[in-house]
Structure 1
């Protein structure tokens, strides 16, 4: 009987060891799964914090929030496309004001002037062929404009002058007349 009891103990000890290993595996798996759920919860919370309210309003399930994120991404992509097309249109418009489709026409134009508002007053962009720049400055001074900044660049063998000017009396300044005078300037 003693022998039988020993065998029984041996058998019972072996399953206990297996049981401990199984329990450890289960505990490790449970801990890993718990960490994974916590990480996913923090990722979903981060996603929720990045989305505007109108895309997650009233949506509690994570699948609804992910759909809201997808909708928001689509919305942003559409906005980017719209803004890019507007930018391209503006580039084309500004290109038309300085360039003609026909190069001969471009070379025949003596001066080209664009006046637009900027933070300090107005910005004047000139493309002049044979006009001395001093006469441009004289016209600006006569109309009460004070040049604050100046940049010159070369485009297609032409000089493009960009001036930023402060306007002393904004209401009294006739920008159309200044633009016409600068366009008609000759040597």
Structure 2
């Protein structure tokens, strides 16, 4: 096409659209990369703000922050394990003292102890007893099924001259709740030697 006698402009449809498309792609890639870098910087700043001061010393690289975050997570995991061990020791001491301080002559004659406490999604049951009396877990399971509880986890541990059974149970029926004292009494009747 001729615009004026001095200027001649020739339009080729394929070449101009390719240049425009190529430059648009470059701009789009550049913007996406800038956005990705900005997002990574924000996430790194967020991670750094969560770390205690002893893990963030001065200006460091992103890889140093990641390494310190891993160290901090490992430290927290060790602390959780230590606290879990202490909790279990305290629970065992508390269970033994609860067994000793139970009122009623039938509780004092027997070495069995039953503790029922609510937990996040059901109940936790602790049953202790001596080796000589024995404990039929099948009787306990029958009581739990009658109450609409399913055993999620059961761990038996030897403590001194007896056994400690810890059961985590979930409600399988009637999610409105149940009587913890009544459940404890039924379990007590199931585990004491005189009731078997």
Q: TM-score scaled by structure 2?
A: 0.46
**Larger % of helix: which?**
1
Higher relative CO (CA 8 A, sep ≥ 6), structure 1 or 2? Answer: 1
